[in-house]
Amino acid sequence: MRVLVTGGAGFIGSHVVETFLTAGHTVRSMDALLPAVHPTGPAVPVGVEFLEGDVRDVNAVERALDGIDAVCHQAAMVGLGLDFDDAPEYVGCNDYGTAVLLAAMGRAGIRRLVLASSMVLYGEGRYECPSDGVVAPGPRLATALRDGHFEPTCPRCGQDLSPGLVDETAAPDPRNVYAATKLAQEHLSAAFARSTGARVAALRYHNVYGPRMPRDTPYAGVASIFRSALAAGIAPKVFEDGAQRRDFVHVRDVALANLAALEAVGQETAFTSGSLRAFNVGSGTVRTVGELAAALARACDGPAPLVTGGFRLGDVRHITASSLRLREELGWAPREDFEAGMAEFAAAAMRA
């Protein structure tokens, strides 16, 4: 297929481009090269056509879509940001940009889309109360967090909850601006599919790590933040008590999930036309943020993590994936070993 990858110069996008190229697809990469993310020009693999352009620019998008069979939409502003003042920029980049892209795809007759979504749209993960069964806890309060009460409690009886794996049937509950924009991207894409008969795969990434992560930015992921601290000889600072449960998945495994989704949306028998199908993309192994910090510290031969008890109000306590749907329906499975991935990440170049 002839594939357009938006955000193709980014952390995940660049790995997706390479994976598609290796699989024999013809790849065009488009990226706005925003200075905050790309202080230098991108490294473009041989055989990839690169276009500098913003998905919010109708003319640039129409040029990029010329002759294309399918789109892999990776372009987005990511992370929690600094505060709610970031909301207009997040909505502009993520939601308006997606709307411009989808409208142009509709005009061009392109009906195959892989969308980079995120587990953040779930809010808190799956919880079970010993008395009330599966429940959805409310937002954690700043007063409780300041007192060191980090675990959500049952909204009905107040008992402690047991966290579990969240699957794609869970109701969305976005708890920060970024999460809200990722959910809106899915809604826009689902509306596009119904309107045009397109086939859309939405990949809900869990915590992605690996080579080429951006560093020294408030929008970086937790693995990148820990790595930057260790590179400076500073102990990584872990919020709360470090027991927050996450699913850390290697970027190369994420790129392979994109390849599986791309080839599925290209087959009429694999996807129902006019619909969006969501897939969690995670390693399937639960680890804590504290365990991640400790593994990186070992790999970097650096100082042990410092558990601070601090918190960010937009963070959730536990969110871990069931990627069973992706494994069973698209035949994907993670290949990268966590400890080996941490060792590679500790030595890999990061983007400034």
The DSSP annotation for 263-287 comes to HHHT-TTTS-TTEEEEEEE--S--E
> What does the angle CA 30 – CA 35 – CA 37 come to, to the nearest 5 degrees?
70
Q: What is the mean pLDDT of residues 35-49?
A: 81
pLDDT at 109 exceeding the cut of 70: yes
Q: What is the mean pLDDT of residues 227-241?
A: 94
- Computed over every residue of the chain, the mean pLDDT equals 92
**Number of helices (H), then strands (E), in the chain:** 11, 17
- At 351 the pLDDT is 67
Lowest mean pLDDT, pick from 52-61, 214-223, 269-278: 214-223
The owner of tokens 């909850």 is 161
Quick: pLDDT tens for 280-299: 999 999 999 999 999 999 99
Residue 69 CB: number of other CB atoms within 10 A?
A: 15
Question: For residue 222, what pLDDT band results from cuts at 50, 70 and 90?
Answer: confident
pLDDT at 37 exceeding the cut of 80: no
Instruction: Name the token pair of 47.
Output: 């055989």
C-alpha–C-alpha distance, residues 221 and 208, integer Å: 8
Quick: pLDDT tens for 291-341: 999 999 999 999 999 999 999 887 889 999 899 999 999 999 999 999 999
The alpha carbon of 86 is separated from its chain's Cα centroid by a whole number of angstroms, namely 18
